[in-house]
Amino acid sequence: MAILVIHGGAGGDGPWLGKTPLDPARIDCMKQVLQQVGSKLESGEIDCLEAVTLAVEMLEDEPLFNAGQGSVIGEDSTITMDASIMRGSDKAAGAIINVSKLRHPIRAANVILQQGWPVIMNSNAADEFGIANGVEEVSQDWLKTELRLGQWQQWKNSKDRPGSTDEDDSVLDHDLEGRVVTEFSDEGMGTVGAVALDSNGGLAAATSTGGMTGKPAGRVGDTAIIGAGTWADNKIAVSCTGVGEAYIRTCAAHSLATRYQFSSDLAQSATRLLDEVAPLGGRGGLIAITSDGEFIMPFQTRLMYRGSWKNGSLEVGIGPPLEQ
């Protein structure tokens, strides 16, 4: 048995309004990730750790997700990215904080995991470490897309508008022609992640993000934090998405692992965890997979980009309905 589950972020309030003009490309990307990485995982060509790394790399390469190229732009008009990865069998972990020069932040986190020590590396040192270890160096210009520059300008205009408050600093999802297609205001939207179970029973989890549009310099969300955005042990692997602060304050990914360990009820454990996170301002979602091969993709937002691959069978979804 080999299973791969991915997400491309959760967010939004209210009922799902159907796909935006940008969503078919996101769906296509998720299908490709599931097909390509899932096949390799099933054949035994790669293990769970490499599967989640490759899956997240492909999601980082899709500019419509908020990770790698196409990451959202911070207050000071730069992109800084966070990522973390964990292997369940030995609790090996790697994380990078606020990198700005890497095409694949998750690969840098993977290299950190492989080297074993330290577990977390920060900012310029993390960029330099990644580049020295073969992670492709890219420029800020390469990372920035027209879509994200438009969203950043929208955020800036909203912020500069007299009488504006943080509460109406919502960020608009433009299509490539600049038309507003949907509205969102939280970093969950577009953060990417993957969890995998390989044929040896190994579990791994990975998460990567550009954070949130207009984030203050130096702000670190849950994606870089082992136990908050990412967790894996020998029973479960978890990747979370949502407003990061609430996931940090609840130690969300580790909390789900613990709840599952005591109850053995995965769906109920996830519901209770999300119910605990939401009141702290952290409505969002998560993906999780267990050593028994059970997996879930719950969310409490308008939508969560998500998909799964199991025994050659593939499902993807954005709003409530799943499609093949």
CB 79 within 8 A of CB 100: yes
DSSP 25: H
The correct pick among 73, 92, 111, 296 for binding a second copy (CB under 8 A) is 92
Asked if 219 is part of the footprint of a second copy (rule: CB under 8 A), the reply reads yes
Q: Tokens standing for 21? A: 């003009």
Tell me the C-alpha to C-alpha distance, in Å, between residue 86 and each of 1, 237, 254, 256: 20, 8, 12, 15
The correct pick among 69, 250, 269, 301 for binding a second copy (CB under 8 A) is 250
Asked if 98 is part of the footprint of a second copy (rule: CB under 8 A), the reply reads yes
The correct pick among 165, 177, 262, 324 for binding a second copy (CB under 8 A) is 262
Residue 107 burial (CB count, 10 A): 27
DSSP 257: H
Residues involved in catalysis = 191
Q: Which is nearer to a second copy, 44 or 279 (CB)?
A: 279
Q: How far apart are CA 165 and CA 99, in angstroms?
A: 29
Name the 3-class secondary structure at 69.
coil
CB of 258 to a second copy, least distance (A): 4
Write the single-letter amino acid at 95: A
Q: Which is nearer to a second copy, 151 or 230 (CB)?
A: 230
Q: How far apart are CA 4 and CA 191, in angstroms?
A: 17
The correct pick among 26, 33, 103, 129 for binding a second copy (CB under 8 A) is 129
Write the single-letter amino acid at 318: I
Q: How far apart are CA 91 and CA 136, in angstroms?
A: 26
User: Is the bond preceding 162 in cis, omega lying within 30 degrees of 0?
Assistant: no
Asked if 117 is part of the footprint of a second copy (rule: CB under 8 A), the reply reads yes
CB of 283 to a second copy, least distance (A): 15
Chain center to CA of 233: 19
Alpha helices in 8-104 (DSSP H): 23-43, 48-61
The correct pick among 40, 89, 119, 300 for binding a second copy (CB under 8 A) is 119
Q: Which is nearer to a second copy, 178 or 218 (CB)?
A: 218
Asked if 225 is part of the footprint of a second copy (rule: CB under 8 A), the reply reads yes
Q: Which is nearer to a second copy, 182 or 207 (CB)?
A: 207
Q: Which of 130, 29, 122, 52 is nearest to 80 (CA)?
A: 122
Asked if 48 is part of the footprint of a second copy (rule: CB under 8 A), the reply reads no
Q: Which is nearer to a second copy, 204 or 226 (CB)?
A: 226
- Using the contact rule CB under 8 A, the part of the chain among 133-141, 221-229, 264-272, 309-317 near a second copy is 221-229
Name the 3-class secondary structure at 23.
helix
Q: Tokens standing for 171? A: 């960020």
Asked if 235 is part of the footprint of a second copy (rule: CB under 8 A), the reply reads no
Q: Which is nearer to a second copy, 98 or 213 (CB)?
A: 98
Asked if 312 is part of the footprint of a second copy (rule: CB under 8 A), the reply reads no
CB of 150 to a second copy, least distance (A): 24
Place of tokens 């955005």: 229
* Interface residue list for a second copy (CB under 8 A): 86, 91-93, 97-98, 117-126, 129, 215-221, 225-228, 231, 244-245, 248-251, 254-255, 258, 262, 280-281
